A and B are shown apart, each in its own frame.
Chain A
């Protein structure tokens, strides 16, 4: 299963993702997920370093999957973070698409 790292950006709390480009991005769709254990480990290490530098909070490796060419977080909780509240489609990342 492919993985990315998810976290909250320190200064504004906004959810950010880290994929194999090793750049923090605001949208899951802009991420290319880690496909191997080695890639995952690199993401975890970079996430921890960014947390130590106090740029992001709570870096966590999460599972993602591609459905019809679009990347989704597997767990409901992370899917919510990647999109925004389902009861306010005008808010969060879903509103920026």
Chain B
């Protein structure tokens, strides 16, 4: 984990105090809502359907057990004993009272947490690969650069009033787990043929009303230039991004309307003038930040593989869990463990205060006190000794977090939708729950294999529906909920935007439609083909035919 310094602590504490005074003035009737709203949003406090909602940043998804324990405490004492993990790797609390905000922010500040820049037209929480620093397939640890980006973007005076919000995501692995091409800036860290580290920089990706896959603006950017190059992109955007129309204000529209070549020219020209200035990162600075990430103290591996094998043979549920939830660690004798917070038939990403506390204790016992929040609304233990896997699994069973569905059809992404969100047009969680129940059988899930279903309750696309292999968008049609189905999206390195298949369905209809799509896939797939591969091979037609009856040619 990155160790914050005095400067960070002071900054967070001061902001907590400042906001406490603003809340006091609001409660005393001295600040009307139109003046207070921008201030509360700057601190991550929204007013939603039922109450205030607080969005708490988890920088690039990294969370210590101490912070998780604090989230458990805050959600228990000041909320309704649960929290919601979001696609920006943050946590949201849904039932916050304004009067409690000063104390809540104090509590959070005591563990270096806050909601600053989790809302508004600024650079939002940087997201990253949830396996950063430990993945076997990783080329270089992206957290170092995420931390530079966090420091650079925090209260950046020039970028506090951008045309619109701005999201950055970083991966250090060729297998993109951070959806980098769905971001305003996406960064892929790799080594060139000379063995030097650098980034491929993507710009203008994003979902929402006008979805785009990010375009490569630079194929290789030496790591020392990461901040100056991002600064150059933001400057061009800040100058040229549209402020006259909220729906056209994101950088993706600017890139689309101006063309990537012209944008590249402008960015490179801007960059030339600043590239060797104060934002340049010499190797010493990089080493300094690297040193602030306490390196895990790995032990020489015990040979526990025979024991593990025997335990798996004796315990089929454990065997399934090992098979599904583990990812390969760079360190022999260790595993990365995915902890599903999307149990069958339950709201995706919701976790109770008791579970948070238990997970924090388990992270201390089995993951060197560190966890991650994933953009798929789950948790990760980064450093689990393989000899501890059985004990960890048994403990997870005790707290109902042992679901074995990582990357399977029930591991959906789903936004809060009309059950909570003031912007929603339709509910999304009940649909996720019904789909999950329909595919509850583990063997059936395994047979279907890797597939991603993403759903959102409105066009804002917090549930990333455009990049789900199957995407679902809830709309309001004459005061009833209607669900549009789209196919062909992907959030990975082969990113693509799904397209609407045809007319929408009601709540039960959409579940049946998904089942029909999946059945069609099972019938027509070739050996070893995933859903997205089949869809790319055959297109929409077989699915359309199944769903809407008529042959595509006669429709």
Contacts and interface: CB of A to CB of B under 8 A. Distances in A.
Interface string A66-80: 000000001111001
Contact of A76 (B47, B97, B480): B480
Interface of B: 26-27, 29, 31-33, 47-52, 80, 95-99, 347, 418-420, 424, 426-427, 429-430, 433, 476, 479-481
Contacts of A92: 50
B50 A84 contact: yes
A81 B49 contact: yes
Given A53-B29, A54-B29, A81-B49, A87 B98 contact: no
B436 to A, nearest CB: 12
A1 to B, nearest CB: 13
B98 A85 contact: no
Interface string A46-61: 0000011110011000
- Nearest 3 pairs between A and B by C-beta? A13-B51, A85-B419, A12-B97
B52 A13 contact: yes
Contacts of B97: 11-13
Given A80-B418, A87-B347, A51 B33 contact: yes
B479 A74 contact: yes
Contact of B51 (A14, A51, A86): A14
A57 B47 contact: yes
With a 10 A CB-CB cut-off, give which of B26, B27, B98 has the most chain A CB atoms. Answer: B98
A92 B419 CA distance: 11
Given A11-B98, A87-B433, A77 B418 contact: yes
Given A80-B418, A87-B430, A12 B51 contact: yes
Nearest to A74: B479
B430 A8 contact: no
A29 B424 CA distance: 25
B98 A10 contact: yes
Interface string A37-52: 0000000000000011
Contact of B419 (A15, A52, A74, A87): A87
Nearest to B419: A85
Contacts of A88: 347, 419
Contacts of B27: 10-11
21 contacts: A8-B51, A12-B99, A13-B48, A13-B97, A15-B49, A52-B32, A54-B26, A54-B29, A54-B32, A54-B33, A76-B476, A76-B481, A77-B418, A80-B49, A81-B50, A86-B427, A87-B347, A87-B419, A87-B427, A88-B419, A91-B95
Given A13-B97, A54-B29, A87-B430, A76 B50 contact: no
B298 to A, nearest CB: 41
Contact of A12 (B98, B429, B433, B476): B98
Contacts of B347: 87-88
Contacts of A74: 479
Contact of B418 (A52, A58, A76): A76
A14 B94 CA distance: 11
Chain A contact residues, majority secondary structure: loop
B419 A86 contact: yes
B107 to A, nearest CB: 18
B435 to A, nearest CB: 14
B507 to A, nearest CB: 11
Contacts of A81: 49-50
Contacts of A91: 80, 95
A12 B45 CA distance: 12
A66 B274 CA distance: 66
A84 B96 CA distance: 14
Nearest to A93: B50
Nearest to A90: B80
A88 to B, nearest CB: 8
A57 B47 CA distance: 9
A2 to B, nearest CB: 17
A16 B80 CA distance: 19
Contact of A15 (B26, B32, B50, B430): B50
Contacts of A54: 26, 29, 31-33
A91 B419 CA distance: 11
Contacts of A80: 49, 418-419
Given A12-B98, A86-B430, A87-B427, 4 more contacts: A10-B98, A15-B51, A80-B418, A85-B50
Interface string A1-26: 00000001011111100000000000
A78 to B, nearest CB: 9
Contacts of B429: 85, 87
Contacts of B419: 80, 85-88
Nearest to A75: B479
A39 B49 CA distance: 25
Contacts of B98: 10-13
A12 to B, nearest CB: 4
Given A12-B97, A86-B419, A58 B430 contact: no
A88 B97 CA distance: 19
Contact of B47 (A53, A58, A77, A84): A58
A15 B49 CA distance: 8
Contact of A57 (B33, B99, B479): B33
A91 B481 CA distance: 22
Nearest to A81: B49
Contacts of A51: 33
A85 B98 CA distance: 20
A90 B95 CA distance: 13
A88 B96 CA distance: 16
A85 B95 CA distance: 11
